[in-house]
Amino acid sequence: MKPTTYILADNIISPLGFTTSENFERLCHMETGVTYLPESHLYPTGLYAGIIAEQKIEERFRALNAAEPYTRLEKLAILSINNLLESCAEIDIRSKKTIIVLSTTKGNIDLLDPNSPTEVDKNRVHLWQAANAIGRFFNNLVRPLVVSNACISGVLAIITAKRLLEAGMYETAIVVGVDILTPFVVSGFKAFKAVSEQIARPYDADRDGISLGEACGSVALTINKQLIDNQTPIKVSGGASSNDANHISGPSRTGDGLLLAINKTLADAGVAAADVDYISGHGTATVFNDEMESLAVYDAGLAHVPMNSLKSYFGHTLGAAGVLEAIVGLQSMRANTLVGTYNFSKYGMSREVNILRQTQHQQVNNCLKTAAGFGGCNAAVFFEKVNPIS
């Protein structure tokens, strides 16, 4: 029998704040962190995006008295993990039973810019080198694992960590998802003509593309019941991935790949579609993603389930998105509060699903988190409240 994987602690760093509670409070009030950025180093013309103030990052990182220089991306990951550790003293980050799993799509891509001065070794552009640097800060004894699979990276990293724990390889895993805004990222999505000229409108009839963003989220998972001390523990009860291999950047038009991931996840969790309380959607606000996601949700028998997207609050944060949005799902379960979808007003898909317009309070015992990404990849993970552990 497989051991149960529990959630120990979490942290969010985003334009909305540097703690999970600060972020969730502002989300509940439907405050967005996406703003208009005028002409800058990111792009010759302005764009709507979510960006974290550099001064705030530097102020907090200086207080950690790091022994070596770190990149902006690494600083965000270290700050997030450090906050998580401070909130949960039971985690032994230096133990051989604890592994760090890094989720990122682009990592230190800014190190490729020859005009960008840095004290950091340019080899840290390699994702494994960045992961090693993060682990080195915490004197972690286990070689970190990198999960980089387009925009399902965060969800897939949580699933991967769960499987490592269930296999008995480790007792605790810290999953950290992080990506930053760079000219490379912005110009790439601009080239696809996928960036909206407004704050993104997930699932809306007038949606016209994504807003980009940067953030970091970290979540600790464990199979050690002795570390769980909260009254309403949450477990990771299922997860699965799939690939529809439709196109290098476009999702399946039918949603069959995501549907497969959803059905496999619910089967893994032993949960029927009728028992799902809430769906944290991918909701990028592109024409094709939102349509295919609604088809998958509808065909899975989940059309009645309250569903939202957080992309209009944070922007699309790439490798951070799955972790970040999963943590908001955990907070929704703890607070029995569902966040409305910012900037959604007029339903715009061919199949009717239950998109949340406003923040609402209701019993939330479980959460299905979905994700989709370039190359046709799809993933889903299921979180569930459990009775207090004896």
pLDDT by 10s per residue, the chain, length 390: 889 999 999 999 999 999 999 999 999 999 999 999 997 788 888 899 999 999 999 999 999 999 999 999 999 999 999 999 999 999 999 999 999 999 999 999 999 988 877 889 999 999 999 999 999 999 999 999 999 999 999 999 999 999 999 999 999 999 999 999 999 999 999 998 999 999 999 999 999 999 999 999 999 999 998 888 766 799 999 999 999 888 887 778 899 999 999 999 999 999 999 999 999 999 999 999 999 999 999 999 999 999 999 999 999 999 999 999 999 999 999 999 999 999 999 999 999 999 999 999 999 999 999 999 999 999 999 999 997 665
CB atoms within 10 A of CB 53: 9
Q: What is the dihedral of CA 205, 51, 323, 320, to 10 degrees?
A: 100
Answer whether 211's CB lies under 8 Å from 49's CB: yes
The residues pairing with 241 across neighbouring beta strands, listed in sequence order, are: 379
Q: Where does residue 14 rank: exposed (0-12), middle (13-18), buried (19+ CB within 10 A)?
A: buried
CB atoms within 10 A of CB 54: 9
**At a CB cut-off of 8 Å and minimum separation 6, what does 59 contact?**
none
Answer whether 180's CB lies under 8 Å from 216's CB: no
**How confident is the model at residue 389, as a pLDDT?**
63
The CA distance from 269 to 252, in Å, is 25
Classify 3 in phi/psi space as left (phi over 0), alpha (psi -120 to 50) or beta: beta
Answer whether 156's CB lies under 8 Å from 83's CB: no
The CA distance from 160 to 138, in Å, is 21
Answer whether 143's CB lies under 8 Å from 189's CB: no
DSSP tag of 128: H
**How confident is the model at residue 101, as a pLDDT?**
98
**How confident is the model at residue 34, as a pLDDT?**
98
The CA distance from 129 to 123, in Å, is 7
CB atoms within 10 A of CB 115: 5
Cα distance from N-terminal residue to C-terminal residue, the chain: 19
**How confident is the model at residue 390, as a pLDDT?**
54
How many CA atoms within 13 Å lie on the side-chain side of 85?
A: 18
**How confident is the model at residue 381, as a pLDDT?**
98
Answer whether 80's CB lies under 8 Å from 176's CB: yes
Handedness of CA 259, 264, 269, 274 (dihedral sign): positive
Phi/psi for 99 (5° steps) reads: -120, 145
The CA distance from 14 to 326, in Å, is 14
Q: Mapping DSSP to helix (H, G, I), strand (E, B) and coil, where does residue 88 land? A: coil
User: What residue spans define the domains of the chain?
Assistant: 5-227, 234-385
Q: Mapping DSSP to helix (H, G, I), strand (E, B) and coil, where does residue 176 land? A: strand
Q: Where does residue 200 rank: exposed (0-12), middle (13-18), buried (19+ CB within 10 A)?
A: buried
The CA distance from 330 to 334, in Å, is 6
- Letter for the amino acid at 119? E
Answer whether 310's CB lies under 8 Å from 282's CB: no
- What dotted CATH number matches 234-385? 3.40.47.10
- What dotted CATH number matches 5-227? 3.40.47.10
Phi/psi for 331 (5° steps) reads: -65, -35
The CA distance from 358 to 292, in Å, is 23
Helix and strand numbers (H, E) in the chain are 10, 15
Q: What is the pTM of this model?
A: 0.97
Which pair of structure tokens corresponds to residue 186? 């912005």
**How confident is the model at residue 247, as a pLDDT?**
80
Q: Mapping DSSP to helix (H, G, I), strand (E, B) and coil, where does residue 149 land? A: strand
